[in-house]
Chains A and B, each alone.
Chain A
Amino acid sequence: MVLLVSGLVAGLILAACSTVAGSGDIDATGRFQGVELSEPTPKPSFVLTDTAGQPYDFQASTQGKLTLLYFGYTYCPDICPVHLAQITSVLDRNPPLRENTEVIFVSVDPGRDSPEVIRNYLDGFSEDYIGLTGSMDELRTAEEALGVPAAILGDTSDPDYLVGHAAQVFAWAPDGLGYTMYPFGTRQSEWAHDLEVLANLGGER
């Protein structure tokens, strides 16, 4: 196990380095390691509220950037932190990539996740990450724009109620198109590979 873990860490470092060097790979097929969408999909439009309490126009505010979006809630200890931790780990090793990437966490649990709670949560990963939430109706509009089922809140009279939510991360390249999505279980090495490839997909068209 010791050797295994050390070997994996070494492997990850190698994988990260090779993607930096080999970012010119733009074959029409098989260029992504995440789940490829059947066709490139334009970035949707919706407005939610950011952690400063200001309206955040998703499409306009992320123009020209590699954009990652995830629905979750801060009470979720199991799969929610994994996506954010993986993305953070990749970006921390690649400052130029980080510079042109917008990471957006949408809390589907506005009852407990106030803007302050979301900000504190995200600051544990990066102060640059954008936290959004809204009324249940506004969240539903965003979920519909992304084609995911509406979040399901448990019995909110129980302070420890649970929330069902979309588990995948959505991504859009700087050209404004989504090519891939990332279900739970995506590996660190797959993130490292794909973020580099996506970041090189052009400016806004």
Chain B
Amino acid sequence: MRSTVVALALLIAGCSSGSPIKVGSAYAVEPSGPNAAIYLDITNSGSSGDRLIRVMVDGYTTMIHETAISADGQASMKPVDGVDIAANSTLNLRPGGLHVMIMDAVGIVEDGSISATFEFETGSFTERIPVVSLDTYLDLLESQ
């Protein structure tokens, strides 16, 4: 039942207007440890490329990280300065790849929401995104 509600919220979050840059299916996962992660899809329907510079969450330090898993099974994260989104393309920030890490994410609680500001080279906008439980997160992973 909860996944249905979250899925609806994700659909609604995807419907902003104006710029050719749209953020969809954005959600944060309740933290298991000190830090939490935000995942999202960015669609650039414009004819020129853009770049996600940072995602800001009031009261928290955030970083864009990229996880890579090597052939011998070693997972590592590294910070990235920004993420390019080519014209007419969609970039998925997904588990095991790119994500926005919220440091010391105490207070990011399941079933709440947070206000996130997405800063691109061409401009920025703010959206509320849901904070999902680990169980809901697993359901979302299965659907990807």
Contacts and interface: CB of A to CB of B under 8 A. Distances in A.
Interface of A: 1-2, 4-6, 8-9, 12, 74-82, 84-86, 89, 121, 124-125, 148-149, 152, 160, 162-168, 183-185, 187-189
B5 to A, nearest CB: 9
Interface in B50-101: 63, 65, 67, 69, 72-79, 95-96, 99, 101
Contacts of A86: 138
Given A5-B4, A8-B143, A76 B73 contact: no
A162 B78 contact: yes
B73 A12 contact: no
Interface residues of B, number: 42
Contact of B33 (A75, A160, A167, A168): A75
A183 B69 contact: yes
A60 to B, nearest CB: 26
B134 A81 contact: yes
B73 A148 contact: yes
B74 A1 contact: no
Instruction: State the 8 A-B residue pairs at the shortest beta-carbon distance, nearest first.
Output: A164-B76, A167-B75, A74-B33, A81-B32, A77-B35, A77-B37, A85-B134, A162-B77
